[in-house]
């Protein structure tokens, strides 16, 4: 059995941020990542101004991820549109690029990273790998994203009565996309869900949809659902017509609104394992980075025993942004006056954008 003082499960944003913090502090640790090469997670790829500040503390500047700032957001719904400036410039980037940059930075500062190691289950503080090996840790940093690990899975009721399905498609680079999306992101609202769209660093566009399971089941698969949405929402249909032909990616049962409210000794839940904010807020990557940075600092100060108190405190930090994002999600999915108010008063978008950032 292998032993390590601190085991980080997952090499995404949260895990890499924690590894950077531990390595800089000279604290022994091991980060295991199941993928041998960096993939492209199903994610909107939006980096708010707060997230960019967190990245800078880890040694990655905004222009390194994408030189083109995002300064505004445009809403579309039922033939209407509205636009608002963001409080401060943001960026959009593919997860493939950002994850690779963060893991490379972690290794530069001395983090111990092992790829191709899949954790099948965790019992206590012992992690079992796919090949039957065991890793015993004094402290565990769970950064497995939306993927649960057996033994530490989030409760089944976290997904709600009508859970959300995440879909993503890539739109090929084109002059039309550049004209439509340079400097801004789009949110397309429709019955049973919404879609976010942004240009990535390579000129392609990342279109991510969050759709309730009931809406998905009412269609005949992903292709039929997208065709229906495109027909009912012309602006969205125009964007989807520029798909590069790659398969539509999907993830089921996204537990939006769930957060780890009570800490457990020796266990730091990071990123989506700490809380899953509705994606229209654009703060999921910010939460991942903030959790990794803060957990590493808590461990540096108090060791494994600091985990429970840190988790309770981080849950408190998540309370406002997640509550506001949850309320916003209900509003945009409604047919009534609250949703119409966003189009009549687009400056409210900026207020909501500020309120859904995770505090320092």
Name the helix (H) or strand (E) containing 185. Answer: strand 184-190
The answer as to whether 203 is a domain residue is no
Structure tokens at 203: 């000129």
CA pair distance 131, 133, nearest whole angstrom:
6
* 54 occurs within a structural domain: yes
User: How much is the pLDDT for 346?
Assistant: 78
Query: Can you tell me the distance from the alpha carbon of 194 to that of 210, in angstroms, rounded to the nearest whole number?
Result: 6
At 196-239, the pLDDT tens digits run 999 999 999 999 999 998 888 888 888 888 889 989 889 899 88
Confirm whether 179 is domain-assigned: no
Q: Whole-angstrom Cα distance, residue 343 to residue 355?
A: 18
Backbone angles phi, psi at 159, to 5 degrees: -85, -10
* Residue 351: its H or E element: helix 347-355
Which CATH number fits the domain that encloses residue 309?
3.50.50.60
Domain presence at residue 239: no
Residues 6+ away with beta carbon under 8 Å from 11: 19, 31, 32, 33, 35, 99, 103, 113, 115, 143
Q: Is residue 221 part of a domain?
A: no
Residue 186: strand pairing partners: 74, 197
Number of domains making up the chain = 1
Q: Which residues neighbour 70 within 8 Å (Cβ) at sequence distance 6 or greater?
A: 46, 86, 89, 90, 91, 92, 183, 184, 185, 198
Residue 21 lies in a domain: yes
Are 165 and 252 contacting, i.e. CB atoms less than 8 angstroms apart? Answer: yes
Residues in the chain: 360
65 belongs to a structural domain: yes
> Rounded distance, CA 42 to CA 165, Å?
11
Give the phi and the psi of residue 187 in degrees, each rounded to 5: -120, 120
Element (DSSP H or E) covering residue 90:
strand 80-92
The verdict on residue 104 lying in a domain is yes
Give pLDDT < 70 ranges for the chain: 335-339, 341, 360
Please return the burial class of 161, using the count of CB atoms within 10 Å of its CB with bins 0-12, 13-18 and 19+: exposed
Which residues form the domain of 95? Answer: 2-158+255-355
């Amino acid at each position: 059995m292998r032993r390590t003082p601190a085991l980080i499960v997952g090499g995404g944003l949260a895990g890499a941020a924690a590894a950077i913090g531990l390595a800089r502090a000279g604290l022994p640790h091991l980060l295991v990542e199941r993928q041998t090469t960096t993939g492209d997670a199903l994610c909107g790829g939006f980096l708010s101004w707060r997230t960019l500040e967190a990245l800078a503390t880890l040694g990655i500047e905004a222009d390194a991820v994408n030189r083109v700032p995002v300064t505004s957001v445009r809403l579309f719904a039922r033939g209407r549109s509205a636009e608002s400036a963001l409080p401060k410039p943001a960026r959009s980037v593919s997860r493939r690029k950002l994850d690779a940059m963060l893991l490379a930075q972690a290794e530069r500062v001395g983090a111990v990273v092992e790829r191709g190691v899949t954790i099948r289950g965790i019992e206590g503080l012992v992690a079992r790998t796919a090949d039957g090996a065991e890793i015993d840790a004094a402290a565990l940093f769970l950064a497995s994203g939306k993927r649960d690990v057996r033994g530490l899975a989030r409760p089944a009721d976290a997904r709600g009565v009508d859970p959300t399905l995440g879909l993503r498609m890539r739109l090929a680079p084109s002059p039309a996309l550049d004209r439509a999306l340079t400097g801004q992101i789009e949110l397309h609202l429709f019955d049973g869900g919404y879609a976010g769209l942004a240009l990535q660093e390579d000129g392609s566009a990342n279109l991510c949809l969050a759709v309730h399971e009931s809406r998905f089941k009412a269609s005949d698969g992903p292709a039929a659902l997208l065709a229906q949405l495109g027909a009912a929402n012309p602006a969205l249909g125009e964007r989807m017509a520029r798909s590069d032909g790659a398969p539509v990616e999907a993830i089921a049962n996204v537990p939006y609104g769930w957060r780890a409210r009570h800490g457990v000794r020796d266990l730091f839940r990071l990123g989506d394992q700490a809380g899953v904010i509705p994606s229209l807020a654009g703060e999921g990557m910010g939460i991942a980075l903030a959790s990794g940075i803060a957990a590493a600092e808590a461990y540096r100060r108090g060791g494994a025993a600091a985990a429970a108190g840190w988790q309770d405190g981080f849950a408190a930090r998540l309370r406002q942004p997640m509550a506001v994002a949850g309320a916003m999600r209900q509003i945009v999915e409604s047919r009534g006056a609250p949703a119409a108010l966003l189009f009549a008063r687009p400056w409210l978008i900026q207020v909501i954008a500020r309120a859904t950032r995770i505090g320092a």
